[in-house]
């Protein structure tokens, strides 16, 4: 899928898919269209939580970090999305894309994972440690109970593969280490 026309056809085929499938496929299509520009959108936020909780958590929008928001916005508009600030909406698919930043902050770019999908498509997702730490910051600093719950669930679900040394270093820097220590 190298053209807008092909991408729009692929989007049309998503009408009957679940919300999660639509969001992942929209991201994969955008990722493929941005490849020639050497731009790699990274899923962060609630969709990353949904991916890492294997669908236990659900969301209704896509949060992406994209180094060239303007280029991504041009492509989203060509795909039928309507821009509104840093958001783009697709009325037929009921999918919303937000690009909150142009760089990954408070996260290690080397921990980003690539999920390979069918038809040669893929998406990039913030590393598991970093999404847990992101939710942990919201838990501690914003007093968000739901973020506490989801951070702990992801921590327990993925505990065997987490880089705890990295997480403890970051949590100490963020002032969230006491909460993290309760889980480890």
Mean of pLDDT over the chain: 95
Q: Is 1 helix (H, G, I), strand (E, B) or coil?
A: coil
For the stretch 41-60, pLDDT in tens is 999 999 999 999 998 899 98
Q: Give the list of residues 6+ apart from residue 147 with CB closer than 8 angstroms, or none.
A: 135, 136, 138, 139
Q: Which of 52, 28, 48 is nearest to 116 (CA)?
A: 28
Annotated domain spans of the chain? 4-126, 129-183
Q: What angle do CA 35, 36, 42 make, to 5 degrees?
A: 25
Backbone dihedral angles phi then psi of residue 99, each to the nearest 5 degrees: -115, 90
What average pLDDT score do residues 18-22 get?
Answer: 96
**How far apart, in whole angstroms, are the C-alpha atoms of residue 80 and residue 66?**
19
Name which CATH class applies to 4-126. alpha beta
Confidence at residue 74, expressed as pLDDT on a 0 to 100 scale: 96
Tokens 């480890």 found at: 184
What average pLDDT score do residues 23-29 get?
Answer: 98
pTM of this structure: 0.95
DSSP string, 118-182: GGG-EEEE--HHHHHHHHHHHHHHS--HHHHHHHHHHHHHHGGG--HHHHHHHHHHHT-HHHHHH
Widest CA span of the chain, in angstroms?
51
**How far apart, in whole angstroms, are the C-alpha atoms of residue 102 and residue 150?**
25
For the stretch 81-140, pLDDT in tens is 999 988 999 999 999 999 999 999 999 999 999 999 999 999 999 999 999 999 999 999
Confidence at residue 86, expressed as pLDDT on a 0 to 100 scale: 84
1 confidence band (pLDDT: 50, 70, 90): low
What average pLDDT score do residues 163-176 get?
Answer: 97
Q: What share of the chain is helix, strand, coil (3-state, %, to 5)?
A: 55, 15, 30
């Amino acid at each position: 899928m190298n053209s807008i026309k092909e991408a729009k056809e692929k989007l049309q085929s998503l009408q009957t898919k679940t919300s999660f499938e639509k969001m992942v496929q929209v991201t994969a299509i955008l990722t493929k269209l941005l490849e020639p520009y050497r731009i790699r959108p990274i899923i962060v936020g609630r969709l990353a939580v949904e991916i890492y909780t294997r669908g236990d958590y659900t969301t209704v929008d896509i949060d992406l970090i994209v180094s060239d928001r303007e280029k991504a916005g041009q492509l989203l508009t060509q795909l039928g999305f309507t821009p509104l600030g840093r958001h783009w909406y697709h009325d037929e698919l009921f999918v919303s894309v937000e690009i909150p930043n142009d760089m990954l902050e408070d996260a290690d770019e080397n921990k980003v994972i690539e999920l390979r999908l069918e038809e040669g498509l893929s998406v990039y997702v913030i590393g598991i440690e970093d999404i847990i730490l992101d939710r942990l910051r919201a838990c501690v600093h914003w007093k968000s109970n739901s973020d506490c719950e989801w951070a702990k669930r992801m921590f327990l679900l993925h505990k065997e593969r987490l880089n705890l040394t990295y997480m403890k270093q970051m949590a100490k820097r963020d002032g969230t280490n006491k909460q993290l220590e309760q889980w480890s």
